[in-house]
Structure 1
Amino acid sequence: MNMKLQAAIDEAFAQAQQELRARRSAEALVWLERAHILTQRRPWLHARSHYLMLWAGWQQGDMREVLGQMPRILAALLFSRIWVPIGNTGRARVSAFQPMPISEELRRLLE
C-alpha cells in the first residue's frame, strides 16, 4: 500500500475514533465513510469501518444503522477481495450493492 493511502486511512480512522469518543457520531460517520471507501479492498480494515459505523449508529440510537452494519461486517470480511461496489459509503441507508461516485482526491489515493 502506498504511503499516502496509508496516511489517509490512518487519519480517517483516528479522526472518526476521536469524534466517537467525544460522542459526535454524525461527525464520526463522515470520517468513517471516507475510511470505508479507502479500505474497501482490505478485509480487516473494511470490516473495521463497518464496526465503527455500527458503534456510531448505537451512539445515535439509530437501530437501522446498527442492524444494517451487522451483515456488512461479515460481508466485508468475506467478499472484500472478490467484489465491492466502488465508492459506496458503507452506510445502512445506502444499498450495499450500489456503486457511487468517488471524489477526485480519493480516486488519486486509490490509484
Structure 2
Amino acid sequence: MNKLLKSAFDAEMQIAKNLFNTADFKMCFHHLERAHILGQRNAIPHTVNHWWMLKVGLKLHDSHEVRGQLLRILVAGIGSIFGRVPIGNTGGANIGIMQTMPIPPDLQEIFIRLNR
C-alpha cells in the first residue's frame, strides 16, 4: 500500500476505533466507510476494515449488517488481490458488493495525489 494511502487509511481507521470505544457507532461506521474507500484495493486493510464493520453490526444488533459483513469478509481479500473492487464503494451491507459510488472530494484528492 502506498505510503500516502496507508497514512490516510490508518487515520480513518484510528478515528473509527476511537469512536467505537466511545460507543458512537454511527460515526464510527462513517469513518469505516471512508477507510473502506481508501483501503479496498489492498487485501489485508480491506479485510480488516470489514472486520471492524462486522464489530459495529454486532454492537448494533443489526443482523443485515452482520450477514453482509460476513459475506464481505469472505470475498474482500480475493477481490482486492484480483483488482475486482468497485470505485468509491463504502463497504456497508446497504450497498451492493460491486456498486460503484462517487468518492468524497477530500478522498478524491488523495487518489489524485497518488497519480501525480
TM-score by length of 2: 0.89
Aligned to 2:9: 9
In structure 1, the partner of 2:66 is: 66
1:31 is aligned to 31
Q: Which residue of 1 aligns with 2:98?
A: 97
Q: Secondary structure at the match of 1:80?
A: helix
**What percent identity do the matched residue pairs reach?**
39
Compare 38-47 and 78-87 and name the one that shifted more. Answer: 78-87
Query: What per-residue deviation string (whole Å, max 9, x for no partner) do you get for residues 27-56 of structure 1?
Result: 100110001000011001001111100101
CA displacement at 1:10 relative to structure 2: 1.1
Amino acid at match of 1:4: L
How many residues in Structure 1 have an aligned counterpart in Structure 2?
111
The TM-score normalised by the length of structure 1 is 0.93
How far has the Cα of 1:2 moved from its partner? 4.1
The RMSD of aligned alpha carbons is 1.2
